[in-house]
């Protein structure tokens, strides 16, 4: 009975709990502050009370939950500090490092941390006394720092399929709560969508880019569970229902980056999955994919009806009147080219951490933050940023070139790279997911590729 409760009912109870959490957050938003405070000791106790064999799983579950919940917490004003999500992920990882340490093979990520220092020194010389150091420097470094901490901890670690899929569940749970909140916040969108811009009303009143990124991650994880199903059919059907609704509301955010990233991840996962499975599994999966095509078509038709056809204009780069837009990147190309020019001007040390926003004001007259972490690393860190990016891309691929150590390896690595390319590292998810891609998955002797 205890085993059944842990494996089947626990997932079902968690789903129901997070549906309720989304409802409570909508009815009484201040509750979310208390909830945020409560989950810290809860996950800390889980880690401290776990056995050495289960501790890595518990640490990653804690970090996964925070990474999945971060946008929801921001949406409901649960944070005292904007970067709380990244700090909490690092906190749980540090607890894990205290107990488990890290593999010596993870030294490239320690080197990555050292490569960030020169640009900090440049900023220290350039920042005026009236500028807040935390906002100017730590805001931009919190993402890379979070990634480095997670990567140092996860590199060389192993989990069973069952435990790895459980970690992914804890990413999805808070996204389900956020989905419920978004639906309650604005169930009917026909009166609020009047143009093709990213829509805050359809995103729970918060930033559509971050919401779409979180929903896109949830879409990918749940799609992967279509091919690697839950053993309990009731949970499977429930989660697939959430997949459909999540896709529908994700499209209606009008933020393309997060949804297109999910699509690319799904295509990569299908290719990898088919290369590892037997003929019988391939046949079953093909039938599922045929069904997916039909459901996606239905979702698209519903989206067209809900938006009066504007969603088609959005994805075909047209304005509300159907006119072709000149810049499909919505201004991002101009920011990227400006950051590259900053790198050319200061190729060695860069312009300093947190300085690119001022550079945009100076060169473009635009008071905007960076949208691309790759070009930010180049412009603010110079040649040290180039070396840092090479570490992040080359090290995991050299460690797992064929993806055989982790079937999720390439899709998760793609999530990191694509997300930081259109939305920088504003949330903890890209950093955590990068670290999760480094995990080696092992099979239990009597367990299939299921949970």
pLDDT digits (tens, 9 = 90+) for 25-60: 999 999 999 999 999 999 999 999 999 999 999 999
Using an 8 Å Cβ cutoff, are 303 and 251 in contact? Answer: yes
Residue 94 has pLDDT above 50, yes or no: yes
Sign of the torsion formed by the C-alpha atoms of 339, 345, 349 and 355: negative
Residue 129 has pLDDT above 70, yes or no: no
Q: What is the mean pLDDT of residues 196-221?
A: 93
Check residue 330 and give left, alpha or beta (phi > 0: left; psi -120 to 50: alpha): left
% of the chain surpassing 90 pLDDT = 73
Q: Compute φ and ψ for 442, nearest 5 degrees.
A: -115, 155
Q: What is the DSSP letter of 431?
A: H
**pLDDT for the residue numbered 133:** 64
Return the structure tokens found at 232. Answer: 């309990």
Return the structure tokens found at 308. Answer: 């009066």
Residue 191 has pLDDT above 80, yes or no: no
Sequence-distant (≥ 6) Cβ neighbours of residue 298 within 8 angstroms: none
* Nearest CA among 436, 438, 430, 434 for reference residue 405: 438
Give residue 140's pLDDT band: very low, low, confident or very high (50, 70, 90).
confident
Q: Rounded mean pLDDT of the chain?
A: 90
Tokens 């590259």 belong to: 340
Q: CB under 8 Å, gap of 24 or more: what pairs does 326-329 form? A: none
Give residue 334's pLDDT band: very low, low, confident or very high (50, 70, 90).
confident
Q: What is the mean pLDDT of residues 259-278?
A: 95
Q: Which of 32-46, 85-99, 181-195, 406-420 shows the lowest per-residue confidence on average (mean pLDDT)?
A: 181-195
* Nearest CA among 412, 378, 347, 387 for reference residue 112: 387
HSE-up of residue 326 (Cα within 13 Å, Cβ side): 3
CA distance 66 to 37: 12
Residue 167 has pLDDT above 80, yes or no: yes
* Nearest CA among 174, 200, 198, 201 for reference residue 186: 201
CA distance 215 to 236: 18
Q: What is the mean pLDDT of residues 380-397?
A: 96
* Nearest CA among 97, 305, 88 for reference residue 190: 305
Give residue 371's pLDDT band: very low, low, confident or very high (50, 70, 90).
confident
Give residue 99's pLDDT band: very low, low, confident or very high (50, 70, 90).
very high
Instruction: Give the number of residues written for the chain.
Output: 451
Tokens 């697939």 belong to: 240
**pLDDT for the residue numbered 448:** 40
Work out the number of other CB atoms within 10 angstroms of the CB of residue 369: 14
**pLDDT for the residue numbered 187:** 81
Alpha helices in 186-327 (DSSP H): 208-227, 233-251, 256-276, 279-307, 310-315
Domain layout of the chain by residue ranges: 2-442
Q: Note the pLDDT tens digit of each residue in 416-437.
A: 999 999 888 989 999 999 999 9
CA distance 31 to 109: 38
**pLDDT for the residue numbered 450:** 43
Q: Note the pLDDT tens digit of each residue in 286-316.
A: 999 999 999 999 999 999 999 989 999 999 8
CA distance 198 to 184: 19
Sequence-distant (≥ 6) Cβ neighbours of residue 236 within 8 angstroms: 225, 229, 230
CA R_g for the chain: 22
pTM: 0.94
Using an 8 Å Cβ cutoff, are 434 and 412 in contact? Answer: yes
C-alpha angle 352/355/357, rounded to 5°?
Answer: 155
């Amino acid at each position: 009975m205890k085993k059944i409760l842990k494996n089947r009912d626990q997932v079902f109870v968690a789903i129901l709990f997070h549906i309720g959490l989304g409802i409570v957050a909508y009815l009484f938003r201040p509750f979310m502050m208390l909830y945020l405070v409560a989950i810290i000791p809860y996950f800390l106790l889980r880690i401290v009370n776990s056995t050495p064999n289960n501790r890595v799983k518990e640490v990653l579950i804690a970090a996964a939950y925070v990474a999945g919940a971060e946008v929801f917490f921001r949406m409901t004003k649960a944070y005292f500090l904007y970067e709380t999500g990244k700090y909490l992920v690092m906190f749980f990882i540090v607890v894990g490092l205290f107990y488990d340490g890290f593999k010596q093979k993870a030294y490239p990520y320690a080197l990555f941390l050292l490569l960030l220092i020169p640009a900090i020194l440049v900023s220290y010389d350039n920042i005026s006394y009236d500028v807040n150091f935390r906002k100017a420097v730590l805001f931009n470094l919190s993402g890379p720092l979070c990634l480095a901490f997670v990567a140092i901890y996860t590199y060389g670690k192993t989990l069973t399929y069952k435990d790895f899929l459980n970690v992914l569940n804890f990413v999805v749970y808070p996204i389900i709560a956020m989905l419920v909140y978004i639906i309650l916040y604005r169930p009917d969108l026909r009166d609020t969508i009047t143009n093709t811009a990213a829509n805050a009303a359809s995103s729970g009143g918060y930033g559509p880019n971050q919401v779409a990124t979180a929903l896109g991650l949830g879409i990918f994880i749940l799609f992967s569970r279509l091919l690697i199903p839950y053993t309990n059919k009731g949970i499977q059907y429930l989660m697939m229902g959430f997949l459909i609704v999540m896709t529908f509301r994700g499209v209606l955010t009008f933020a393309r980056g997060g949804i297109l990233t999910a699509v690319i991840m799904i295509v990569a996962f299908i290719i990898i999955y088919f290369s590892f499975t037997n003929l019988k599994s391939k046949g079953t999966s093909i039938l599922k994919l045929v069904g997916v095509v039909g459901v996606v078509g239905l979702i698209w038709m519903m989206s067209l009806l809900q938006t009066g056809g504007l969603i088609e204009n959005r994805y075909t780069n047209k304005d509300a009147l159907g006119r072709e837009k000149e810049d499909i990147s919505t201004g991002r190309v101009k920011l990227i080219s400006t950051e590259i020019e900053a790198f050319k001007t200061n190729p060695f040390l860069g312009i300093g951490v947190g300085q690119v926003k001022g550079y945009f004001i100076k060169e473009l007259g635009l008071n905007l933050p960076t949208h691309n972490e790759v070009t930010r690393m180049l412009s603010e860190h110079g040649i040290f940023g180039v070396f840092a990016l090479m570490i992040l891309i080359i090290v995991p691929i050299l460690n797992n070139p064929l993806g055989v150590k982790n079937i999720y390896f390439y899709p998760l690595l793609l999530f990191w790279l694509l997300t930081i390319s259109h939305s920088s590292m504003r949330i903890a998810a890209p950093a955590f997911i990068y670290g999760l891609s480094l995990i080696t998955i092992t099979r239990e002797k009597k367990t299939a590729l299921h949970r």
